[in-house]
Amino acid sequence: MNMKGKSIIEVLLVFMVFRLVSWAFRITDFAEKEQDILGWSYVAGVLLVLAPIGILLVTRRRFESYGFTLANWRRNLDIGLTYALVAGVIVNGVGFMSLWIFGMSYTGMTGALILACCEIVVLFLILSILRRRERRYDPENPPNPVPNFLVLIVLLLLPVLVGVYVHRLTLIVVSTVVWQFFFSGFGEEIMYRGYYQSRINEEFGRPFSFLGVNFGYGVIISSLLFALAHVLNPFSPLEGNYELAWWWGLFTFFGGLTFGLVREKTGSIIPCGIAHGLPDAVGEAFALMFHLS
């Protein structure tokens, strides 16, 4: 007998196990040294990538069904870069800079509401752009990837080059660019939009539609888990820290919705990985160098 909802149970179990492992690792000496030297936990980042890939290998599921595909990669690279620039200007440029100017925090109510509004604007804007591009897209003549790769590389190197010029480049700044792009960006997209979202879609399908995108409960549940993960970021029970960042979860939920809908529209995690990682890599690195956070 097939039990309805088994995909949700599986996803929740994986989410809880991953959090438990993260809390246990956080109290180790290695984690403390890693944090002091690099500013981020690369072990946690690697687990974020390997856990869903391992599950797919063990269960013998098709990687393509989970968004792990290079099909239409030229188009998806172009979409991801466009998405990243839109999110970078609106969320980082308008949102986070407004918070810094007025002395607000993204974990506070007002700051989180401002960022949530920015994320909603990005959601409508990027889906509208995708609808227009879809009408003009010629699969026989995909976008030239060379300019997009050059823009991507230049933007990722920008904090490093500026850091050298102003004599503020540190190992943690470089580490931030790498960690945010590859592990926060692609790592979280592999887990949330790749594994969680797709697994639930396998069982429940995609019965809904929004701005030309067919989606299902996978988008909603993966976005809720994405928000919950940020709510739990400061929470570390083994260290005696029971703080919850509820407002952090608010705007990341709307960001997760956009990532999820773009993943459904393109069938790939590539655009979401770029759009998630690039603005965070550049923004966090500059924030560290110029003490904007």
Residue 1 within any structural domain of the chain: no
Tell me the pLDDT band of 122, cut-offs 50, 70 and 90.
very high
pLDDT digits (tens, 9 = 90+) for 27-85: 999 999 999 999 999 999 999 999 999 999 999 999 999 999 999 999 999 999 999 99
User: Does residue 238 form part of some domain?
Assistant: yes
Element (H, E) at 208: strand 208-210
- Residue 139, pLDDT > 90, answer no
- Split into its structural domains, the chain has a count of 1
Contact 45, 182 (CB under 8 A): yes
Give the percent of the chain with pLDDT over 90.
93
DSSP state of 53: H
**Residue 215, domain member (yes or no):** yes
Q: 3-class SS at 146?
A: helix
**Phi, psi of 4, rounded to the nearest 5 degrees:** -70, 135
CB 74, CB 142: distance < 8 Å:
yes
Amino acid identity at 220: I
Q: Give residue 26's pLDDT band: very low, low, confident or very high (50, 70, 90).
A: very high
Collapsed DSSP state (helix, strand, coil) of residue 167: coil
Interval 207-219 mean pLDDT: 96
Read off the amino acid at residue 76. N
Q: CB of 232 within 8 A of CB of 249?
A: no
Would residue 229 count as lying in a domain? yes
Say if 67 falls within a structural domain: no
Check if the beta carbon of residue 122 is closer than 8 Å to that of residue 91: yes
Average pLDDT, integer, range 187-196: 97
Given this model, what pLDDT does residue 137 score? 80
Give the model's confidence band at 140: pLDDT under 50 very low, under 70 low, under 90 confident, else very high.
Answer: confident
pLDDT surpasses 80 at 259: yes
Residue 293 — very low, low, confident or very high, per pLDDT cuts 50/70/90?
A: low
Q: Is position 39 within any domain? A: yes
pLDDT per position as a tens digit, 150-173:
999 999 999 999 999 999 999 999
Q: Pick the residue with more confidence: 202 or 293?
A: 202
- Residue 216 placed within a domain: yes
Radius of gyration of the chain measured on its C-alpha atoms: 19
* Residue ranges making up the domain that contains 257: 6-60+72-290
194-198 mean pLDDT? 98
Q: What is the mean pLDDT of the chain?
A: 95
Gap between the Cα atoms of 264 and 190, Å rounded: 14
* Tally of helices (H runs) and strands (E runs) in the chain: 13, 2
Q: Return the closest-CA partner of residue 204 out of 9, 47, 20, 32.
A: 9
What backbone phi and psi angles, to 5 degrees, belong to 137?
-70, 130
**What pLDDT is recorded for position 151?**
97
Beta bridge partners of 210: 213
The average pLDDT across 179-194 equals: 96
Q: Would you say residue 184 lies in a domain?
A: yes
Q: Which of 228, 233, 283 minimizes the C-alpha distance to 250?
A: 228
CA 107-169-179 angle, 5° bins: 50
CA distance 205 to 197: 11
Tell me the average pLDDT across 260-282: 97
**pLDDT tier at 138, thresholds 50, 70, 90:** confident
Q: Is the pLDDT of residue 135 over 90?
A: no
The DSSP symbol for 244 reads -
pLDDT reported for residue 217:
97
Judged against a pLDDT cut of 70, whether residue 211 lies above it is answered with yes
